[in-house]
Amino acid sequence: MSISDTIDRAGMNKSRLGKGQIAFCVLLASLLLLPLAINNAFVSHIFITICLFAALSTAWNIVGGFAGQMSLGHAVFYGIGGYTGVILFNMGIWGSAHGSACSSARSSPRW
Protein backbone atom coordinates (compact mmCIF):
# COMPACT_ATOMS: atom_id res chain seq x y z
CA MET A 1 0.00 0.00 0.00
CA SER A 2 1.48 3.31 -1.05
CA ILE A 3 1.24 6.64 0.75
CA SER A 4 -1.15 8.06 -1.85
CA ASP A 5 -3.59 5.18 -1.28
CA THR A 6 -3.50 5.80 2.45
CA ILE A 7 -4.17 9.51 2.00
CA ASP A 8 -7.01 8.84 -0.44
CA ARG A 9 -8.63 6.41 1.97
CA ALA A 10 -8.29 8.85 4.85
CA GLY A 11 -10.67 11.29 3.18
CA MET A 12 -8.15 13.67 1.65
CA ASN A 13 -8.87 12.65 -1.92
CA LYS A 14 -8.94 15.01 -4.84
CA SER A 15 -11.95 17.28 -4.86
CA ARG A 16 -14.11 17.20 -7.93
CA LEU A 17 -17.03 19.31 -8.97
CA GLY A 18 -20.29 17.44 -9.03
CA LYS A 19 -22.96 17.82 -11.69
CA GLY A 20 -25.03 20.06 -9.45
CA GLN A 21 -22.13 22.40 -8.77
CA ILE A 22 -21.31 22.68 -12.46
CA ALA A 23 -24.95 23.39 -13.29
CA PHE A 24 -25.05 26.06 -10.58
CA CYS A 25 -21.90 27.73 -11.93
CA VAL A 26 -23.30 27.72 -15.48
CA LEU A 27 -26.61 29.17 -14.26
CA LEU A 28 -24.83 31.85 -12.24
CA ALA A 29 -22.62 32.82 -15.18
CA SER A 30 -25.61 33.03 -17.51
CA LEU A 31 -27.52 35.21 -15.03
CA LEU A 32 -24.52 37.52 -14.70
CA LEU A 33 -24.20 37.86 -18.48
CA LEU A 34 -27.94 38.18 -19.15
CA PRO A 35 -28.14 41.97 -18.62
CA LEU A 36 -25.49 42.46 -21.32
CA ALA A 37 -27.66 40.61 -23.84
CA ILE A 38 -30.93 42.40 -23.03
CA ASN A 39 -31.60 45.51 -25.11
CA ASN A 40 -35.21 46.06 -24.05
CA ALA A 41 -35.78 48.29 -21.00
CA PHE A 42 -39.04 46.52 -20.08
CA VAL A 43 -37.44 43.07 -20.02
CA SER A 44 -34.55 44.46 -17.99
CA HIS A 45 -37.02 45.96 -15.49
CA ILE A 46 -38.86 42.65 -15.16
CA PHE A 47 -35.57 40.80 -14.63
CA ILE A 48 -34.52 43.23 -11.88
CA THR A 49 -37.94 42.97 -10.20
CA ILE A 50 -37.75 39.17 -10.24
CA CYS A 51 -34.28 39.27 -8.66
CA LEU A 52 -35.47 41.68 -5.94
CA PHE A 53 -38.46 39.53 -5.05
CA ALA A 54 -36.26 36.42 -5.06
CA ALA A 55 -33.90 38.07 -2.57
CA LEU A 56 -36.81 39.18 -0.39
CA SER A 57 -38.44 35.75 -0.42
CA THR A 58 -35.12 34.08 0.39
CA ALA A 59 -34.71 36.36 3.40
CA TRP A 60 -38.22 35.54 4.58
CA ASN A 61 -37.58 31.81 4.04
CA ILE A 62 -34.47 31.93 6.22
CA VAL A 63 -36.06 33.99 9.00
CA GLY A 64 -39.53 32.47 9.00
CA GLY A 65 -38.86 28.98 7.74
CA PHE A 66 -35.55 27.84 9.12
CA ALA A 67 -35.33 30.01 12.23
CA GLY A 68 -39.04 29.86 13.02
CA GLN A 69 -39.25 33.52 13.98
CA MET A 70 -41.91 36.03 13.08
CA SER A 71 -39.83 39.01 12.03
CA LEU A 72 -40.78 41.58 9.45
CA GLY A 73 -37.66 43.72 9.93
CA HIS A 74 -36.26 42.83 6.53
CA ALA A 75 -39.52 43.91 4.89
CA VAL A 76 -39.37 47.25 6.72
CA PHE A 77 -35.84 47.91 5.48
CA TYR A 78 -36.86 46.84 1.97
CA GLY A 79 -39.76 49.32 2.05
CA ILE A 80 -37.64 52.13 3.49
CA GLY A 81 -35.05 51.56 0.77
CA GLY A 82 -37.68 51.68 -1.96
CA TYR A 83 -39.32 54.80 -0.52
CA THR A 84 -35.96 56.57 -0.19
CA GLY A 85 -35.04 55.56 -3.72
CA VAL A 86 -38.21 57.14 -5.11
CA ILE A 87 -37.68 60.35 -3.13
CA LEU A 88 -34.07 60.61 -4.34
CA PHE A 89 -35.12 59.84 -7.91
CA ASN A 90 -37.59 62.74 -7.85
CA MET A 91 -34.90 65.15 -6.60
CA GLY A 92 -32.93 65.00 -9.84
CA ILE A 93 -29.45 63.76 -10.54
CA TRP A 94 -27.60 65.92 -7.99
CA GLY A 95 -30.01 65.22 -5.15
CA SER A 96 -29.84 61.50 -5.72
CA ALA A 97 -26.04 61.61 -6.07
CA HIS A 98 -25.66 63.46 -2.76
CA GLY A 99 -28.25 61.25 -1.06
CA SER A 100 -26.55 58.10 -2.30
CA ALA A 101 -23.15 59.32 -1.12
CA CYS A 102 -24.52 60.23 2.32
CA SER A 103 -26.34 56.92 2.75
CA SER A 104 -23.24 54.99 1.64
CA ALA A 105 -21.08 56.91 4.08
CA ARG A 106 -23.61 56.38 6.85
CA SER A 107 -23.78 52.63 6.31
CA SER A 108 -20.00 52.31 6.24
CA PRO A 109 -18.66 50.24 9.15
CA ARG A 110 -16.20 52.98 10.11
CA TRP A 111 -18.93 55.50 11.03
Per-residue pLDDT of 11-65, as tens digits, reads 555 567 788 888 989 988 988 888 788 888 888 888 888 888 888 888 878 877 7
Whether 81 is covered by a domain: the verdict is yes
- Specify the number of domains making up the chain: 1
Could you list the residue range(s) of the whole structural domain that residue 108 is in? 72-111
Whether 60 is covered by a domain: the verdict is no
Whether 82 is covered by a domain: the verdict is yes
What does residue 38 show for φ and ψ, rounded to 5 degrees? -90, 125
- Report d(CA 71, CA 63) in Å as an integer: 7
Whether 99 is covered by a domain: the verdict is yes
Whether 57 is covered by a domain: the verdict is no
Whether 55 is covered by a domain: the verdict is no
Whether 89 is covered by a domain: the verdict is yes
Specify the pTM. 0.46
Q: What is residue 10's predicted lDDT score, i.e. its pLDDT?
A: 54
Provide the CA 95 distance to its chain's centre, in angstroms: 27
